Amino acid sequence: MEYDRSNPHAVPPQVIVDFLKKIHPFNSLSDDALNELAKEITIDFFPRGTLIFKQDETEVEHLYLIQKGGVKLYLKDDEGVVTLKDYRGEGSYIGALPIIQNSRANLNVETVEDTFCFLLKKEKFLELLEQYPKFVQFFLKSFSQKLIRTAYQELRRHKMTPKSESSLYLFSVQVKDLIHREPQTIAHTESIQSAAQKMAEMHIGSLLVKDSGGEIVGIVTDKDLRTKVVARGLGYQEPVSKIMSSPVKKVSSMTLAFDALLTMMQTQVHHLAVEQGGRIIGVVTAHDIMVLQGSSPLYIFREIVSRQTIEDLYPISQKVPTIIRNLLEEGARSNNITRVITILNDLILEKLLTLLQDKMGQPPVRYCWLLMGSEGRKEQTFRTDQDNALIYEDTDDDNLRKEAEDYFSAFGKEAIEHLVKCGFPRCPGDIMASNPRWCKPYTTWKRYFEDWVMRPEPDEIRNATIFFDFRPGFGELLLGRNLRDHLAKIASKHTIFQYHLAKDCLEIRPPLTFFRNFIVEKDGEHKNRLDLKTRGIVPFVDFARLMSLRHGIKETNTLMRLQALEEGNHISRELYLEAKEAYEFLMQLRLIHQMRLIEEGKEPDNYINPGDLTDLEKKTLKEAFSVIGRLQALIKDLYPVAR
């Protein structure tokens, strides 16, 4: 910005250039083009309630870009009936369609906030459309899409760049990484029946066939058994050499999964022998590759079940995002998704603890693995921290008690280590089964809850909320259920305790006004971002928890709790539906936000930038937040001195 004697007005209007750089399709222009364009723009201000366009009357002379504020678009028919069409906020346009169609304003446009707009002359806008195909694409596309969009469709379309993560896997994984076991072989002289028996025993679909010198000469697969034996009525005592495919198609251990898949497709075989240093180290099947590529939850389900060591479980949870993405693309709601994640994580836990039990020997007394917090509520998204605990049977036998203490202490610690390696980060608050405090016999747990409920300390209650969302995860589930029954019984009777929870519920203020004073984080790493979890999701969770404890409801899932509350006539049907919709939308927004971060290689978090949202999302989000106010009002009624 140096002074130029010949032209003191040379400074390009930075404010406009910066703004245009952030919005489609202007961000596709070169810096020079943007600087030139910026000089053409003027800035106008419209107080709230200004009618910028009047339907069928206003000659549209400019394209309006909303810099700050918001407008509503509506139609008014001959009888004066008003139909609201859309809201537009910062970074969106008005006037494009009438300019392109060379018609008068097709809608009424009225500001709903004090609004600043950048104005671009009609002629200049038409010039851009002529010059840049991207502009045409953008504006034509947005017209047709506006007709069909709903909040959910919009979430899917705007927030998820189409990308198939599975194809990345295919291009990076080598076949040697797909081999789970040593190659299983059978002598060429052995009978078909013994081959079938061996395959059945080992739960495998193929055997390599050795000749007398130990060389691999062929392969038999379960398809051979079907097509060559059963279908043709071949004797079971015939040698396998009669039905084997020979020679075996081989690939190097370094072959990429993608190339292996191509080989299979080209040669029409489903099994490839993997060779390393002249030795066959295993067999890779089409199924192995499909598991890698395919993202159906079913595949992962089977994969978890078939794993035979704890270490084999480690990489599985990395595939969860791929599955979730596919589900999201197929239109799944957050509720379906958290359920899938819960099932998969429960399954991993079950497999892991079973294998660990096999390794450490049977436990001295029965136990139950408890899941807390979001796991307890079955509301996990991606990479949720571990929140768990362990509860075991009481015993009068001192020796047995000591033995149990030692066993579960070691068991808890090891389980946590493995879970960390499976991709479930440690709980920063150390609420995990590895912590001696949270690995206790039943009576101790009972006392913990009695202390919290009957003699509540405000600070402790705040830290203990996640315990109230526990559910039995694995082991002797009855232990967990009994504890839940006990809690339900005492919690509904102790109002002081409920008051403490109520106070917590009212502490979070929902962000209310929208286009402007969105309550965002004021400083730190997440400055100007909205904490979707704390400000949006937690209030619903807190509300459902308190109300469930109040009414002795044993459910832990927030949506199920809300439903149970409605069924028990503790909340109105209207409030239930509003809360359900709002909560699901917030969860959905969070899932998609986290999905995107994961795909960008970042850690998933809960901080969204309100500026990144489309107008419809903002509008829906605003509705969702307004529900929080209604929930809090109910709590204020029930616990009048809570604040």
Partner 1 sequence: MLGLVQRIFSKGRPVHPALKENWRFFQSFDQTGPIDAYEFTVFDTELTGLDAGRDEIVSIGAVKIRALKIVPGENFHTYIRPRNIVPSKAATLVHRITMDTLVNAPYIEEVLPDFLRFCHGTFLVGHYIGLDMKFLNKALREHLGGKIKNPCIDTMKLAQVYREEQWGNYYDQFNYQISYNLEDLSQEYGLPAFEPHNALEDAYQTAYLFLYLVKKLRSGGLTTMKDLYMAGRSWRWIF
Nearest to 475 by CA among 312, 300, 357, 302: 357
Shortest distance (Å) from residue 41 CB to partner 1: 7
Pick 67 or 142: Cβ nearer partner 1? 67
Provide, rounded to whole angstroms, the least separation between the CB of residue 54 and partner 1.
Answer: 17
How many chain residues touch partner 1 (CB under 8 A)? Answer: 30
Nearest CB to partner 1, comparing residues 36 and 457: 36
Using CB under 8 A, which of 15, 265, 298, 477 touches partner 1?
15
C-beta closer to partner 1: residue 42 or 534? 42
Residue 620 CB: number of other CB atoms within 10 A?
A: 23
Identify which range of 6-14, 233-241, 483-491, 596-604 contacts partner 1 by CB under 8 A.
6-14
Measured from the CB atom, the residue of 26 and 474 that comes closer to partner 1 is 26
Q: Which stretch binds partner 1 (CB under 8 A): 113-121, 150-158, 197-205, 330-338?
A: 113-121
86, 114, 507, 599: which one binds partner 1 (CB under 8 A) = 114
Token code pair at residue 568: 């028990």
Say which residue the tokens 């919690």 belong to: 491
User: What string marks each residue from 492 to 521 as x (binds partner 1 by CB under 8 A) or -?
Assistant: ------------------------xx----
**E strand or H helix that includes residue 173:** none
CA dihedral 375, 381, 383, 387 (to 10 degrees): -20
Q: Any idea which residue has 């020079």 for tokens?
A: 32
- For partner 1, the closer of residues 51 and 187 by Cβ is 51
Nearest distance from C-beta of residue 114 to partner 1, angstroms: 6
Would you count residue 522 as binding partner 1 (CB under 8 A)? Answer: no
Contact between 3 and partner 1 by CB under 8 A: the answer reads yes
Smallest distance, partner 1 to C-beta of residue 17, A? 10
Q: Residues 57-86: x/- map of binding to partner 1 (CB under 8 A)? A: ----------xxx-----------------
Beta strands in 304-346 (DSSP E): none
Largest CA distance in the chain: 102
Structure tokens at 53: 């366009």
3 state SS for 339-396: HHHHHHHHHHHHHHHHHHHHHHCCCCCCEEEEECHHHHCCCCCCCCCCCEEEEECCCC
Q: Which structure tokens are listed for 497? A: 């305790």
Nearest to 230 by CA among 246, 214, 248, 243: 243
Phi, psi for residue 31 in degrees, rounded to 5: -60, -40
Q: Closer to partner 1 by CB, 43 or 254: give it.
A: 43
User: Amino acid identity of 253?
Assistant: S
Query: H/E element holding 445?
Result: helix 442-454
Token pair in block for residue 411: 């068991």
Stretch that binds partner 1, among 109-117, 147-155, 581-589, 626-634 (CB under 8 A): 109-117
- Cβ-based nearer residue to partner 1, 31 or 406: 31
Can you tell me which of 1, 84, 231, 641 binds partner 1, judged by CB under 8 A?
1
Closer by beta carbon to partner 1, 16 or else 642? 16
Rounded-to-integer distance, Cα 11 and Cα 39, Å: 9
**Is residue 528 involved in binding partner 1 (CB under 8 A)?**
no
Interaxial angle between packed helices 477-491 and 538-550, expressed in degrees from 0 to 180 and rounded to the nearest 10: 80
CB of 47 to partner 1, least distance (A): 5
Closer to partner 1 by CB, 69 or 218: give it.
69
- Nearest approach, Cβ of 40 to partner 1 (angstroms)? 6
Cα 618 to Cα 18, 51, 82, 139, 147: the distances in Å are 22, 22, 22, 21, 18
Q: Which is nearer to partner 1, 69 or 456 (CB)?
A: 69
Pairwise CA distance, residues 50 & 539, whole Å: 36
Q: How far is the CB of 68 from partner 1 (least distance, A)?
A: 5
Structure tokens at 630: 């209604």
Three-class DSSP category at 75: strand
**Closer Cβ to partner 1, 1 or 231, answer by number:** 1
Q: Cα(423)–Cα(401) distance, rounded to whole angstroms?
A: 33
Rounded to a whole number of angstroms, the minimum distance from the CB of residue 127 to partner 1 is 16
Per-residue string for binding with partner 1, 115-134, x by CB under 8 A?
Answer: -x--x---------------
Instruction: Outline where DSSP puts E strands in 500-640.
Output: 530-531, 607-608
Q: Determine how many CB atoms are found less than 10 A away from the CB of residue 426.
A: 15
Q: What tokens does 482 get?
A: 């009994």
| CB of residue 609 to partner 1, shortest distance in Å | 16
Residue 8 C-beta: closest distance to partner 1, Å: 5
Binding mask 17-56 for partner 1 (x = CB under 8 A): ---------------------xxxxxxxxxx--x------
630: CB partners within 8 A, 6+ apart: 575, 578
Q: What value, to the nearest 5°, has the Cα angle with vertex 446 and ends 440 and 449? A: 105
83-88: long-range contacts (C-beta < 8 A, 24 or more apart)? 86/146, 86/615, 86/616, 87/112, 87/615, 87/616, 87/618, 87/619, 88/615
Q: 8 or 277: whose CB is closer to partner 1?
A: 8
Give least dist CB 13 to partner 1, A: 3
Residue keyed to tokens 């909560």: 583
| Bond preceding residue 25 cis, omega within 30 of 0 | yes
**Residues in the site for partner 1, rule: CB under 8 A?**
1-3, 5, 8-9, 11, 13, 15-16, 38-47, 50, 67-69, 113-114, 116, 119, 516-517
